[in-house]
Amino acid sequence: MTRITRRTLLAASALPLGGGLLASRRARAEEAYILGTLFPMAGPNAEYGTIFTAGAAMAIKHVSADKMLSRPLALRAEDSEGTPQGGAVGMNKLVNVDHALYVLVGFTGVSKAAAPIGTRAKVVLVNGGGVGPDLAGLSPYYWNVIPLVPDEIKVLTPFLIARKLRRVALIYVNDPFGNGLYKALKTDLTAAGGEIVAADAISPTDQQFSAIAARIRTTAPDAVYFASYGAQQAQIIKQLRDAGISQPLLTYSGAAIPSVRNLPEAEGLTLTAQAADWTVDDPVTRRFVADWRAQYGSDPTPYHQNYYNAVRLFALLAQQLEKAGKPVNGDTLRAALLATRRFALVGGEGVFDDLGDISMKIVVNTLKGGKLVAVG
Amino acid sequence: MSALLSMRGLTRRFGGIAAVDGVDLDLAPGIITALVGPNGAGKTTLFNLITGHLAPDAGTVALAGHAIGRRAPHHIARLGIARSFQDLRLFARMSVRDNVLCATEPASWFWQPGGKAARQARAERALAATGLAALARADAADLAYAERKFLSLARIIATGARIWLLDEPASGLDPASRARFSALLRDAVADGVTICLIEHNLDIVIELADRIVFLDQGRKLAEGDPATILADPLLAAIYFGERA
Amino acid sequence: MLLLQLLVSGIETGALYALTAAGFALIFGATRIFHFAHGATYALAGYAFVLASRLGLAWPLGGLLALAVAVGFGLFLEAAVYRPIQRHHGAFFTVFVAAFGVVIVVQSLIELSFGRAFVAISTPLTRAHEILPGLYIAQVFWVALAIAIVIFALLGSFLARARAGIGLRALSENPDLLRAFGLSARRLSALAFALGSALAVPGAVLGAATTGLSPGVGAHVMLISLAASVVGGIGSLRGAALAGLLLGVVETLVVAFLDTQWSEAAGFVVLFVFILFRPSGLFGAAVAR
Amino acid sequence: MIAYLLNLAQLAAIFGLLSVSLNILIGYGGIFSVAHAVFFGLGAYAGAHVALDLAPDILLAALAAALTAGVLSALLALPALRVRGEYFVIASLGLQMLATTVFTEASDITGGLGGLVGIPPPTVFGVSLADPLAFLLVCLGFLALALAVVRLLMRASFGRALMALRDSESAAEALGKNVPLLKTLAVLLGGAFAGVAGALFAFQEAFVNVESFTLDQSVLIMAMVIIGGAGTLAGPLLGTVLLLALPAALTFIPGLPPTDIGAVQQLIYGLAMTVLMIFRPAGLAGRLAGRR
């Protein structure tokens, strides 16, 4: 009896998954512009995948509503698992099966594994989430719509000196992003007359931080900077606070996710991020913010903004190419980007440099009641 | 008549209890010696000490006058001492033929001493002698009880060893199988093989043994020809658990 | 003072490891099932508690819900996964792969229903206060310690005195003895799973308050439980508990001397050393060879 | 589509080689290792360094990888000689956890989490293998070599001795088998082939980092062997193809919200693993014990 039930259950669950829809999907794929996403959709960093996708989805809705392009936009998601291997396999599939023209990507490790594949196939990769310093100029077809972390440190350092937070303890993930951040923070802070009194490298899978807290406390810093991703950030904050670390906590834009913002212990957290001034009075920003609030009942985050911008950037470039009667592919998109440079994006005008990297205003924020409040 | 395998003062303790306690024993060539005694007398431990599966705490084992104590089991096996196990320990997921072939290949390396043809012939002879030739392709795990016992013996025959240590080889066999089994052992002894066996069933002991060694609580209590030992009322009392 | 502070955190972590590891050791010792999904039980219990507190239930009710979920899940796995595999004489590794599949399923289900973010219960119990200059202790430390001591005392007397407890200890070694006691091996195996899974609950509930939970939270706890049951000596509850405590302390103390990244590895160095030099573990009776 | 399938086929060949090599330990030697990704990783790092620092010759890289992984397989042989069964599983788990930390920390050699980037396309005797089909053929060549070696050895006395100790160590000893030597050889052979797979993997991805050599990877390789059928020649290959094709096929499921795809894929994947083990405990290619 139990065997029958089990088999029936399985068959029942398999049927709707396996059946149909493939044909209609193919038909649609021929006429649509295919955008790919290569985000972590499962595992400890899956929260980012959810956020990144939401931003892109809103942009697709707007582009379609405005009839900006002659062909519809379609999104194909691949799970990067947040790992290089997942990134390489997923990118291969996006390029060769889905024939994506333009792939949205996050994460430093994933980017580094996927970029060579994109370069070979001349498919543009756009990053709106990873901020590792070595993501700048990874390939001609790899652009950043997010300012990278050295830009954030440049804004933070004067703020720290002004607040007399000269002695900083650092907790950082031991990977290209964390190491790059460590270097940038050390250089800038030392030059400005501050110092790093302790630097603890952690692994992205660590979950216990009370021991680090004890060690940091013995160095009596003025503030504690942590550089991590995803779920781990909230754990660090909570455990540092629980262990009696009452000094200001500092971090970068990666903490602008709900699991951090909704954490009671994160109240007062200082973090640098793109200026998220939702009161900016340009039509693109106004519409994005209004629709976002209507749909989700809360304010968007810079990540939502970046991936919205990434899709909007594609639409603007493709629109330009369509008008000029040119084909839309990696080479023409790149040429159009470098020819135009300035685009009307959410948050104001976005300006790209020769490497295809955006620069945006960065501000220092404090977390108050789950919201980012600019303080400098 | 000099002993082929001799033990002097062999002792092994587990925790505080001596499982084998100062045993002297000589196995003479060309006869069947039976180890008897109640459960826990130390019979299997004695086998383990001979074959190197256990290291003795004290005492020596000598093969034809050369000390072999404290060598690794595979060294001792290659000196020509083969053994069976009470729970058989067949190679369950290998075929019957592979079980036996394996026994003809003492080296662990890729090259075996002796000709391949000679080894295979020896394996086939062992299979034929034990009546397993027809089952050669079956997995050992699929054999019936008696067939498994015969396979265990076939492995030993195939090794070509001159000393066989058999742990309850014939227990649980039906009379017909037992007769075949006894005949095989008799044939081996006639060929000059030295056999030592552990047996609980006194019928089998009487049928097979030329000499009996009686063990109890790790000590050798008596040794002699079957008639004498089995007639001793004290030993019988110990054997049947009516300890004084 | 740093060492003392680390020792205190280590004991708190270790006490909870000890309970979870004892649960694994109990199941393994009694049934010889390598219950790799024990970490999934831990995660489910923790999330059940979080769910209860989100629904506004009082914490004792939340604890009961967590207990019910853990025990139910353990019993379900025993009946629906492990027993059918063992009926087919499935090898040890077959059980391992099946359990690993269960771990993946549970993690995805948690992701689908609770989201992938980190969740935690906020309580003043976890706030540390300076009780000596430089020594910070939170109330949860005493809670963890008290729970561990009480549960181990109860468990010890159950296993030593109650008929079913004695049966549990005999299950792996001497099934004949069970028949003499009039106990069914099948029921005892279920009992082992129920008790063992229940032992994961305190760690999970307190973990939800101290370190917080994420869908993959069970993995680390599982590895620690495995390591503890070997270091302690397979089949020895007392050993597993002591080793769990030891691993928690080692993992924390090592931070005083090395990069934090070595803290997980440090526990496994201890494990490796034990396997090479004392494979029977702290209290192991039988060596595997 | 062709390029994607070629890529998947390359991965299948590499993981096939990997699971065939683990099968020598698990299936034939009864050495239940969950540290196989360590040797895969050692081979990948060795191969990547040969390609980056010397020449991207695939044979040279494979040789260096086999040597590195083979020699360091002594790390696994050590506990294998001391303990068996569950103890060994946990010892190998400990080795895996240690190795992950060492791979992360030794960033001078391994690049840490950042990994080694820009591994050039492979060549063989100066001929470029940049064409995916050519590289696939080379991978298949190595796989065929491994299969041939396994088949040859397992039908010879070495294989019989190895399987004998798997079924009963003490009985094998009693027949003169040098158990420590056999176990060491089996671990060395499995480690060396895993190393070769690692070198191929480094070329295939053009990028290696520690995330590919974690416990999860070890468990995945182990699952390939067990699900396919340990101790059979074809089983590991079957398991490899199934476990690689399943996630790939699951990405074709239509109609799911993109944010849930990951979790649903994992769910089906895990469920398939458990259900297969309940109904085919001896693996797809294995026979059920007691039903022969």
Among residues of chain C, what percentage have pLDDT more than 90?
Answer: 29
Beta partners for A170? A199, A225
- Flag if A217 and C129 touch (Cβ within 8 Å): no
Among residues of chain D, what percentage have pLDDT more than 70?
Answer: 95
* D30 to chain B: closest CA residue: B93
Alpha helices in chain B (DSSP H): 43-51, 73-78, 96-103, 116-129, 145-159, 175-190, 202-208, 226-231, 233-239
- Flag if C261 and A2 touch (Cβ within 8 Å): no
**C-beta of residue C168 within 8 angstroms of C-beta of residue C30:** yes
Residues of chain D found within 8 Å of residue C271, distances taken between Cβ atoms: 90-91, 94
Count the Cβ atoms, other than its own, within 10 Å of residue C211. Answer: 24
Return the H-helix or E-strand segment holding D93: helix D85-105
Residues D32-88 have pLDDT tens digits of 899 999 999 999 999 999 999 999 999 999 999 999 999 999 888 888 787 777 778
Q: How many CA atoms lie within 13 A of D127 on its CB side?
A: 7
Closest C-alpha among A294, C262, D175 to residue B83: D175
Looking at the predicted structure, is the pLDDT value of residue A11 above 70? no
Give the pLDDT confidence score for residue A7 in this predicted structure. 30
Looking at the predicted structure, is the pLDDT value of residue A27 above 80? no
Give the pLDDT confidence score for residue A4 in this predicted structure. 30
Across A71-82, average pLDDT:
88
- Flag if A116 and D271 touch (Cβ within 8 Å): no
Task: State the Rg of chain A over Cα.
Answer: 22
**C-beta of residue D23 within 8 angstroms of C-beta of residue D194:** no
The alpha carbon of residue C181 is apart from the nearest alpha carbon of chain D, in Å, by 29
Rounded distance between C-alpha atoms, residue B49 and residue B74, angstroms: 13
- Flag if D114 and A92 touch (Cβ within 8 Å): no
Place of tokens 């020895």: C236
Rounded distance between C-alpha atoms, residue A148 and residue A129, angstroms: 9
Residues in chain C: 289
Residue D269 contacts C, CB cutoff 8 Å: yes
Q: Which of C89, C268, C276 to mutate to test the interface with D (most CBs of D within 10 A)?
A: C268
* A220 to chain C: closest CA residue: C134
Residue A27 contacts D, CB cutoff 8 Å: no
Between the CA of residue C289 and those of C92, C229, D80, what are the distances in Å?
17, 17, 11
Looking at the predicted structure, is the pLDDT value of residue C232 above 60? yes
Closest C-alpha among C277, C230, C228, C234 to residue C250: C228
Within 8 A by CB and 6+ apart from A139, the residues are A115, A116, A118, A119, A125
Closest Cβ–Cβ partner in C34, C94, C279 for D226: C94
**Domain segments of chain D as ranges:** 2-215
Closest Cβ–Cβ partner in C5, C9, C117 for A258: C117
Cα angle vertex D145, ends D142, D146, to 5°? 90
Within 8 A by CB and 6+ apart from D82, the residues are C275, C276, C279, C289, D91
**Domain segments of chain C as ranges:** 8-215
Alpha carbon D225 to its chain's center:
9
For A149-277+363-374, which CATH superfamily applies? Response regulator (3.40.50.2300)
Residue A180 contacts D, CB cutoff 8 Å: no
Rounded distance between C-alpha atoms, residue A364 and residue A376, angstroms: 5
Query: Could you tell me which CATH number the domain at A25-147+282-360 has?
Result: 3.40.50.2300
- Flag if C214 and A44 touch (Cβ within 8 Å): yes
Question: Which comes out higher in pLDDT, residue A123 or C89?
Answer: A123
Give the pLDDT confidence score for residue A12 in this predicted structure. 30
Residues C134-143 have pLDDT tens digits of 788 888 889 8
Rounded distance between C-alpha atoms, residue A28 and residue C266, angstroms: 55
Closest Cβ–Cβ partner in D3, D113, D261 for A109: D113
DSSP structure string for A83-101: SHHHHHHHHHHHHHTS--S
Task: State the Rg of chain C over Cα.
Answer: 19
Looking at the predicted structure, is the pLDDT value of residue D94 above 50? yes
The alpha carbon of residue A175 is apart from the nearest alpha carbon of chain C, in Å, by 12
Interface of D with B (CB under 8 A): 153, 156-158, 160-161, 163-164, 166-168, 170-179, 181-182, 185, 231, 289-290, 292
Closest C-alpha among C162, C199, C202 to residue C35: C199
Alpha helices in chain A (DSSP H): 2-18, 22-31, 46-66, 84-96, 108-121, 149-162, 176-191, 210-218, 230-242, 258-261, 283-296, 302-323, 330-340
Among residues of chain A, what percentage have pLDDT more than 70?
Answer: 91
Question: Which comes out higher in pLDDT, residue C91 or B63?
Answer: B63
Give me the sheet containing B194-198, strands edge to edge.
B81-83, B163-167, B194-198, B32-36, B211-216, B219-224
**C-beta of residue A223 within 8 angstroms of C-beta of residue A252:** no
Alpha helices in chain C (DSSP H): 2-31, 38-54, 59-77, 83-87, 92-114, 139-161, 163-171, 175-181, 185-198, 200-209, 218-231, 237-253, 262-277
Closest C-alpha among D240, D247, D220 to residue A79: D247
Give the pLDDT confidence score for residue C176 in this predicted structure. 62
Across D230-250, average pLDDT:
88
Rounded distance between C-alpha atoms, residue C16 and residue C221, angstroms: 9
Give the pLDDT confidence score for residue A13 in this predicted structure. 30
At C199 the three-state DSSP class reads coil
Per DSSP bridges, beta strands C128-132 and B81-83 are unpaired
Residues of chain B found within 8 Å of residue D179, distances taken between Cβ atoms: 74, 108
Residues of chain D found within 8 Å of residue C268, distances taken between Cβ atoms: 93-95, 97-98
Q: What is the rounded average pLDDT for all residues in chain C?
A: 84
Q: How many CA atoms lie within 13 A of C133 on its CB side?
A: 0
Give the pLDDT confidence score for residue A1 in this predicted structure. 29
Place of tokens 């298949």: D140
Highest mean pLDDT among A278-287, C51-60, C188-197, D194-203: D194-203
- Flag if A96 and D4 touch (Cβ within 8 Å): yes
Q: How many CA atoms lie within 13 A of D268 on its CB side?
A: 22
Give the pLDDT confidence score for residue D290 in this predicted structure. 39
Cα angle vertex D34, ends D33, D38, to 5°? 100
* C84 to chain A: closest CA residue: A3
Is residue D118 left, alpha or beta, with left meaning phi > 0 and alpha meaning psi from -120 to 50? left
Q: What is the 8-class DSSP label of residue D122? A: P
Q: What is the rounded average pLDDT for all residues in chain D?
A: 88
Between the CA of residue C2 and those of A219, C6, C81, D222, D237, what are the distances in Å?
11, 6, 47, 42, 53
Residue B94 contacts D, CB cutoff 8 Å: yes
Rounded distance between C-alpha atoms, residue D52 and residue D46, angstroms: 10
Residues B34-54 have pLDDT tens digits of 999 888 888 999 999 999 999
Closest C-alpha among A90, A54, A250 to residue A168: A250
* D206 to chain A: closest CA residue: A113
Residues A295, A296, A301, A306, CA torsion sign: negative
Beta partners for B78? none
Residues D8-18 have pLDDT tens digits of 899 999 999 99
Count the Cβ atoms, other than its own, within 10 Å of residue D257. Answer: 11
**C-beta of residue A322 within 8 angstroms of C-beta of residue A277:** no
Question: Which comes out higher in pLDDT, residue D277 or A249?
Answer: A249
**Ramachandran angles phi, psi of A311, nearest 5°:** -70, -40
Residues D124-140 have pLDDT tens digits of 998 999 888 999 999 99
Between the CA of residue C94 and those of A4, B33, C224, D151, what are the distances in Å?
22, 45, 22, 24
Q: What is the rounded average pLDDT for all residues in chain A?
A: 85
- The answer to whether the predicted template modeling score (pTM) of the entire model surpasses 0.90 is no
Residue C53 contacts A, CB cutoff 8 Å: no
Between the CA of residue B233 and those of B229, B236, D20, what are the distances in Å?
9, 5, 63
Residue D59 contacts A, CB cutoff 8 Å: no
Alpha carbon C250 to its chain's center:
17
Rounded distance between C-alpha atoms, residue C43 and residue C96, angstroms: 18
Between the CA of residue C121 and those of A292, A369, B32, what are the distances in Å?
29, 17, 76
**Ramachandran angles phi, psi of C36, nearest 5°:** -70, -15
Return the H-helix or E-strand segment holding A143: strand A142-144
**C-beta of residue A330 within 8 angstroms of C-beta of residue A123:** yes
Cα angle vertex D235, ends B105, D169, to 5°? 35
Query: Residue B230: what residue type?
Result: L
Closest C-alpha among D82, D95, D86, D85 to residue D36: D95
The chains found to touch A (3+ Cβ pairs under 8 angstroms) are: C, D
